[in-house]
Homo-oligomer: A and B are copies of this chain.
Amino acid sequence: MTVSVLALSGGIGGAKLALGLQAVLNPGELAVAVNTGDDFEHLGLAICPDVDTALYTLAGLSNTELGWGRGEESWNFMTELERLGAESWFRLGDKDLAVHIERTRRLAAGETLTRIIEDFAKQFALATRVLPMSDDPVRTLVETETGVLSFQEYFVRLRCAPQVKGIRFEGAASARASAAAIALLGAESLRAVVICPSNPYLSVDPILSVPGWRSALASCAAPVIAVSPLIAGEAVKGPTAKIMRELALEVSPATVARHYAGLIDGFVLDHADAAIAREIDIPVRLARTLMRNTEHKKRLAEEVLGFADFLIRR
């Protein structure tokens, strides 16, 4: 099946809408381009948190209880690692380890992340294409009051506590955008591009920071729709609102819409923010953006795709 929808996603929040899109599209119609700015080397392993979240979520293998990692997970490796006195702030489950070890081995053998993830998806019987935003290393660095932190140090080890003063994407300037994703953006078969309700600054910006992504989105013939990660001034999960306050940005979907100016053709925001819609100078659609269950995800996916179709017909 030809890909008709390309979603841009960070981790958990983005993967929820991607799952909804996958559910309402035919198998193989969805591709998800995923942030790799969160990637890091830990314990000698190449770890790609957002890519794995996309893989696990879309393959039905995610840990719905924890909200991250593999479902039906065990933690015997971690317990023993702690016994050895090794670093244990980043939790790696026994099942989860398989992708890290095999990915690390294959990257060391010279394979691209794109190719490795394509194979993993196949082994997981996943029809949706999961595309790393780039095969080149890009590392999100968080500038805080206490110094520059790697993303995982900031996000996992320090639980987003430090005040953020800036965010930058090391390696982005010399990285190349995913060739597969850029090809999709230029394909006539594309029906819509969806920027998922991921953190715009920490999860979507790393993608946009890689040369090639912005221009391909801006010139894409299909409508590009962003979904607000904020509902009534707060993020459903994660530090979006906190970071916006720390960066002296107004915590409003309108700020997010402006952030994507020149790239998006439409913006979806929650009914709770109906009053803000007038502040946004591109087409908007109100929807229920809180996704608590599969039905919510599917309904939002349908709203977003319907909105895209409406924008084409105009």
What is the interface of chain A, defined by CB distance below 8 A to chain B? 43-45, 70, 73-74, 76-81, 83-86, 93-99, 101-102, 104-105, 108, 119-120, 123-124
Tell whether, in the assembled complex, residue B94 and residue A74 are in contact, meaning their CB atoms are under 8 Å apart: yes
B-side contacts of A108, CB under 8 Å: 44
Tell me whether A77 and B105 are in contact in the complex, defined as CB-CB below 8 angstroms, given that A83-B123, A84-B123, A123-B84 are known contacts: no
Q: A65 CA to B254 CA in the complex, in Å?
A: 63
Query: Smallest distance from the beta carbon of A117 to chain B beta carbons, Å?
Result: 11
Tell whether, in the assembled complex, residue A44 and residue B84 are in contact, meaning their CB atoms are under 8 Å apart: no
**Nearest residue, chain B, Cβ from A96:** B80
Q: Known contacts A43-B102, A84-B123; can you find 8 more A-B pairs with CB under 8 A?
A: A44-B44, A76-B94, A80-B98, A83-B124, A84-B99, A84-B120, A85-B123, A86-B101
Q: A108 CA to B74 CA in the complex, in Å?
A: 27
Tell whether, in the assembled complex, residue A80 and residue B105 are in contact, meaning their CB atoms are under 8 Å apart: no
B-side contacts of A74, CB under 8 Å: 74, 76, 94
Q: A123 CA to B81 CA in the complex, in Å?
A: 10
Tell whether, in the assembled complex, residue A98 and residue B85 are in contact, meaning their CB atoms are under 8 Å apart: no
Q: A99 CA to B79 CA in the complex, in Å?
A: 11
Query: Smallest distance from the beta carbon of A19 to chain B beta carbons, Å?
Result: 20
26 contacts between A and B (CB under 8 A): A43-B101, A43-B102, A44-B44, A44-B105, A44-B108, A45-B101, A70-B80, A74-B76, A76-B76, A76-B93, A77-B77, A77-B94, A77-B95, A77-B97, A77-B98, A77-B101, A80-B95, A80-B96, A80-B99, A81-B98, A81-B102, A84-B98, A84-B119, A86-B98, A86-B101, A94-B94
